[in-house]
Structure 1
Amino acid sequence: KDNKSQTIPEALFWLNRILKPHSLQMRAKLLLITYGPLISVSPASTSIPYIGWWDLTDTFFINEGLEELGFALYMLYGQTKSPEDKSNVILLMEEIMKTPQNWLFENMASLLFFAGDDITYQYFYTKMSTENYSEVAQKLVYLTLIEHKLTKKTKIVYKMIEKLCSSSEHKHKLMNELPIAFCEAITDIDGAIELEDERDITELHEIIAAQSDLMKNSFLSNFDMSSQESKQSLTSNDSQTTPKEE
Structure 2
Amino acid sequence: MTSSAGSSRPSVPRQRQRRSRRRCGRTPARDSPAPSALGDFQTLPLEIFQMVLNYLSVKDISMLSMVSKTISGRLVNYISTSSGSRRLLLQDFHQELPARREGGSILEHYRALGLLLKRCTLLLPTRDRLKYVHKVLSGVSCFKLNGCASPLHCLGLQCYGVFLQILTAGWDELECHRVFNFLWDLSNLGRKVQTVVSSKPAADPPVLPGVLLSPGSRRSDSAFWLTRILKPWPMVNQARLLYIIFGPVSSRDGHVVWQKMIEGPTDETSLKGLADAIKLLYGTEAREWTADDVISLVDELSVVPQEWLMENNARLLLLSGNSICFTFLASKAVNGRAVELARLMVFMVLVCEKDLYCMDWAVKMMQKVCKVFSSPWERNNFLQCLENSFARMLMDMLQAVLAGERDEEDSSFLNLFHLMNAQANFHKEILYLAMGSSSSTS
Q: TM-score, normalised by structure 1?
A: 0.82
Match of 1:21 in 2: 232
Partner of 1:220: 432
Structure 1 CA distance for aligned equivalents of residues 287 and 440 of structure 2: 38
Cα displacement string for residues 180-227 of structure 1 (whole angstroms, at most 9, x for unaligned residues): 111222233334443225724222111111111110110011111111
Matched with 1:107 is: 312
| Alignment partner, residue 196 of structure 1 | 406
Aligned to 1:56: 261
Question: Cα gap change, 1:62/1:52 in structure 2, threshold over 3 Å: closer, same or farther?
Answer: farther
What is the Cα deviation at residue 71 of structure 1?
A: 1.7
User: CA 1:6–1:31 in 2, change beyond 3 Å: closer, same or farther?
Assistant: closer
**When the two structures are superposed, what TM-score results if normalisation uses the length of structure 2?**
0.47
Deviation at 1:22, TM superposition (A): 1.1
1:161 to 344, 366, 382: 366
Residue among 241, 245, 261 paired with 1:30:
241
Greater mean deviation of Cα atoms: 120-129 or 137-146: 120-129
Partner of 1:236: none
Report the Cα distance in structure 1 between the residues aligned to 2:267 and 2:277, rounded to whole angstroms. Answer: 17
The answer (yes or no) to whether the contact 1:137–1:178 under 8 Å persists in 2 is yes
Higher relative contact order (CA 8 A, sep 6+): 1
C-alpha separation between the residues in 1 aligned to 2:400 and 2:234? 37
- Name the CA distance, whole Å, in 1 between partners of 2:261 and 2:247: 10
3-state SS of 2:290 partner: helix
- How far did 1:36 drift? 0.8
Which residue in 1 is equivalent to 2:219? 8
Indicate how the Cα distance of structure 1 residues 34 and 61 shifts in structure 2: closer, same or farther if over 3 A, else same: same
Distance of 1:52 and 1:186 partners within structure 2: 30
**Residue identity in the other structure for 2:245:** T
Structure 1 letter corresponding to 2:422: A
* Unaligned segments of structure 2, at least 5 residues: 1-214
Question: Which of 292, 314, 318 is the aligned partner of 1:87?
Answer: 292
What is the distance in 2 between the residues matched to 1:203 and 1:186?
9
Q: 1:184 aligns with which of 387, 392, 395?
A: 392
Shift of 1:5: 8.9
Name the SS of the counterpart of 1:13 in structure 2: helix
RMSD: 2.2
Partner Cα distance (2:398, 2:266) in 1: 16
How far the C-alpha of 1:39 sits from its partner, in A, is 3.6
* 1:97-136 aligned within 5 A: 97-136=302-341
Kept in 1, the 8 Å contact 2:398–2:416? The answer is: yes
Instruction: Give 5+ residue unaligned stretches, structure 1.
Output: 41-46, 231-246
Distance in 1 between the 2:399 and 2:266 partners?
17
Contact 1:113 1:120 (C-alpha < 8 Å) held by counterparts: yes
Shift in CA distance, 196/26, structure 1 to aligned 2, threshold 3 Å: same
Aligned to 1:240: none
Q: Following the alignment from structure 2 to structure 1, what is the Cα–Cα distance between the partners of residues 432 and 257?
A: 41
Tell me, yes or no, if the aligned pair for 1:164 and 1:170 is still in contact at 8 Å. no
Contact 1:56 1:62 (8 Å CA) reproduced:
no
Equivalent residue letter for 2:278: L
1:23 maps to a residue whose letter is: P
Cα distance in 2 between the residues matched to 1:154 and 1:170: 24
- 1:87 Cα deviation (Å)? 0.4
- Please report how far the alpha carbon of residue 149 of structure 1 lies from its aligned counterpart in structure 2 after TM superposition: 1.3
Whole-Å separation in 1 of the counterparts to 2:231 and 2:398: 44
Q: Distance in 1 between matches of 2:318 and 2:217?
A: 25
Task: Tell me how far apart the structure 1 counterparts of residues 424 and 318 of structure 2 sit (CA, whole Å).
Answer: 19
Contact 2:239 2:304 in 1 (8 A): yes
Instruction: Give the CA deviation at 1:7.
Output: 2.0
Query: 2:7 matched to which residue of 1?
Result: none
Partner of 2:218: helix, strand, or coil? helix
Structure 2: how far apart are the matches of 1:50 and 1:191?
37
Structure having the higher helix fraction is 1
